[in-house]
Amino acid sequence: MVSIRRTSSVTARNVTALGSAYWLVMLGGFLEPVLYLFSIGVGVGALIGDITLPGGEVVGYAAFVAPAMLASSAMSGALAETTFNFFGKMKFMRLYDGMLATPIRPIEIALGELTWAMIRGSLYSAAFLVIMVLMDLTTPLRALAAFPATVLTGFAFGAAGMATATLIRSWQDFDLIGSAQFALFLFSGTFVPATAYPAVVRWVVEASPLYRAVDLVRGITTGTVGWVQMIDVLYLFALMALCLSAAGRRMNRLLCK
């Protein structure tokens, strides 16, 4: 049985260890999608005009791009914590070796770190949603409804990042993670609808986890929620459960030798 108290102690440790430099890192992570929104969503959007969604609804290009930036921001915040930081704590700082001298178990460490990653992703999402409302890209009620979707996105990508971190051999492997993350960012219906791609490419795009997150958030913020968004939710829950289970097993193998 997983102990909520022991799990929360891992999260609390991360909060206690925060330094001033960390907030600068978080500020940089927040500004990146905001700059994309203004440069591409607003700037390029003035040249493109409106976009027709798969259901036939027409929205401005900035309103089309903004939810994709929101989902990408939640992904980036969660992955930053559960790949680079998690790997450093596990392989070089040996932080978790000390934790395992207490009654805490690897799966509780994984859950505690995932909760912290979700908190970071949620901070990005909440701030970005405020910007979307101020720019009239969505309504306050839709922004509130979209927030749980971004939390789910953070959990799903946080679990995926943690599972990946247990397989990393050295710091050089992070180049591969960065390349994969950037490819997801570019080809997940972020700047153009998936229908713009050839059929085969479109299937690959729609099967990617970031596309499912973008589709879910975009459906909520534009008011076009339908049955497809239920597929998005189930997809993200399945990804989270599968990757969290894999991360727990890998951590148990690596830390409890």
For residues 10 and 108, is the Cβ–Cβ distance under 8 A? yes
Distance CA 129, CA 73 (A): 11
Distance CA 101, CA 169 (A): 24
Q: What is the mean pLDDT of residues 245-252?
A: 83
Q: Where would I find the beta strands (DSSP E) of 12-141?
A: 50-52, 58-60
Which amino acid would we find at residue 107?
A: I
Q: How confident is the model at residue 257 (pLDDT cuts 50, 70, 90)?
A: low
Q: How confident is the model at residue 220 (pLDDT cuts 50, 70, 90)?
A: very high
How large is the C-alpha radius of gyration of the chain?
19
Count CB atoms within 10 A of the CB of residue 235.
19
Query: For the segment 78-130, what is each residue's pLDDT rounded down to a tens digit?
Result: 888 788 877 877 777 777 777 877 888 877 888 888 888 788 778 888 888 99
Return the pLDDT at 217. 95
Alpha-carbon distances of 30 from 111, 122, 248, rounded to whole Å: 24, 11, 29
For residues 51 and 64, is the Cβ–Cβ distance under 8 A? yes
Which H or E element spans position 212?
A: helix 209-221
Residue 76 or residue 139, greater confidence = 139
Q: At what angle do helices 61-80 and 140-165 cross, to 10 degrees?
A: 40
Over the chain, what is the mean pLDDT? 84
Determine whether 35 is exposed, middle or buried from the number of CB atoms within 10 Å of its CB (0-12, 13-18, 19+). Answer: exposed
Q: Is the pLDDT assigned to residue 212 strictly greater than 90?
A: yes
Query: For the segment 137-166, what is each residue's pLDDT rounded down to a tens digit?
Result: 999 999 999 999 999 998 899 889 888 888
Distance CA 254, CA 257 (A): 6
**What's the pTM value of the predicted model, to 2 decimals?**
0.87
Q: How confident is the model at residue 208 (pLDDT cuts 50, 70, 90)?
A: very high
